[in-house]
Homo-oligomer: A and B are copies of this chain.
Amino acid sequence: MSGLLQEEKVFKDPVHKYIYVQDQTIWNLINTKEFQRLRRIRQLGTCFLTFHGAEHSRFSHSLGVYEVTRKIISQFERNGYEDWPREERLLCLCAALLHDVGHGPFSHSIEKTFGTHHEEWSCRIVLGDTEVNRVLKEVSPTFPQKVAGVIAKTYNEEIVVSLVSSQLDADRMDYLLRDAYFTGVNYGMFDLERILRVMRPFQGHIVVKESGMHAVEDYLMSRYQMYWQVYFHPVTRSAEVILHKVFQRAKQLYEENYEFSFMLSPLLSLFRQTLSVDEYHLLDEAFMQTVLMQWSREADEVLSDLCSRFLNRRLFKYVMLEHIDVQQIERLRETMAGLGLDPAFYLEIDFPSDLSYDVYRPGEHDEKLPILLLDQRDTLTEISRKSEIVRSISGIHMGKYHLYFPEELLRAAPGALTEEQRKLLRLE
């Protein structure tokens, strides 16, 4: 069943115009139920509550990552670069397509509460008793293992891993363009075609010709802008905070043997941390939204209130904190408790940082592979050593603490808040 399709298949895509499928294996993977499930997982989690256009799914993004990878490889092949290991083509394409197949609904909040990890689930789906696994095994018995290796970044060919996961990988290139397109912000637009033209395989790395330095600067600036304008937008974070509180509360209730009026098996297994690959399949975003909707009618007032807030977009308000005064926060907790708002579920201090969303930090521990420039004398230099712009971005650490709290606090009776607290909450 592997090999080329008799006739190329084409998907219309708003970002890349068309997505071309030439391999039977890729076509079969797209048609597995595990890959189709990605249609039911939004790419940007709660971001649609800030940017209403951001309703696109991980399905679209995964096709996009595949397409960018296909374009890169096709350029490598057309140019006949000797350092490109041609035999790895299908492996790269499969890993690109499947790298997010383990993503669950609202990954951020669920992973934070239940300690799951989407990359691990991707590997479980690739290796488990799944349609995906069956398709991959048709290539060769060890092929699933190789794909899982690339996703887990343990595969021994750096060049393969770096196509899917590095500072300049197909994953980021697609999501920046796609998220910019669907949110409608212009910031994420960079010249993909130009970047592809300056990439080349070189001594086991994917590198960039020095003449393409400005194109990479532009791409990194897009990243910088998208992070602060879109990904770390405080309204999106506010929705994440509420979701996290929902799951925390539910977990607490479960542990206290609370009788949920609505409970379905995959949810139970999530609480028990015994999710099977089969049950994981049921756990899509439609499911989680139905759970939230049903729980918005639960007897437990904290749980039902938090769910309603999320569904009806009555999000927490926020203020930015220059620094954190622990005692001041403590006093606010007490005040809130006095007003009947349990601070464990109605107050949060959030610091926007996410390893996968760093702008660019070469050389740091546990970092993705850095971007290397190749000059005319075939010397490699890490980009921030040549580009002042990149150097200045790398050093930037713009995260600010935000305090999230319900709007009711702002409408509390006069005298309910101290003057210090009114200042903190920008009431005067």
Q: Which residues of A contact B (CB under 8 A)?
A: 10-15, 17-18, 31-33, 36, 39-40, 48, 51-53, 55-57, 59-60, 63, 181-187, 189-191, 193, 197, 214, 217-218, 221, 224-225, 228-229, 264, 282, 284-287, 289-290, 293-294, 308, 311-314, 388-389, 391-393, 395-396, 398
Contact = CB atoms under 8 A, between A and B. Distances in A.
Contacts of A286: 285-287, 289-290, 293
Report copies per complex: 4
A228 B189 CA distance: 18
A311 B396 CA distance: 44
Residue with the greatest number of chain B CB neighbours at <10 A, chosen from A32, A228, A392: A392
Contact of A14 (B36, B184, B217): B184
Given A183-B12, A187-B218, A282-B293, A311 B36 contact: yes
A393 B59 CA distance: 37
A347 B228 CA distance: 48
Given A12-B183, A389-B396, 9 more contacts: A11-B52, A17-B184, A40-B289, A52-B60, A55-B57, A284-B293, A286-B290, A391-B392, A392-B392
A29 B193 CA distance: 26
A289 B105 CA distance: 14
Contacts of A60: 52-53, 55
A407 to B, nearest CB: 11
Contacts of A189: 186, 189
Nearest to A79: B8
6 contacts: A10-B197, A13-B52, A187-B218, A214-B225, A218-B225, A286-B290
A214 B229 contact: yes
Nearest to A63: B52
Contacts of A59: 52
Contacts of A193: 17-18
A187 B36 CA distance: 27
A193 B314 CA distance: 28
B186 A12 contact: no
A284 B285 CA distance: 13
A363 to B, nearest CB: 19
A178 to B, nearest CB: 9
A284 B290 CA distance: 9
A388 B18 CA distance: 28
Interface pairs A-B: 7 shortest CB-CB: A392-B392, A14-B184, A286-B289, A33-B312, A290-B290, A286-B286, A14-B53
Contact of A224 (B228, B290, B389): B389
A352 to B, nearest CB: 14
A398 to B, nearest CB: 7
Contacts of A285: 286
Contact of A191 (B51, B52, B185): B185
Given A14-B183, A184-B17, A36 B312 contact: yes
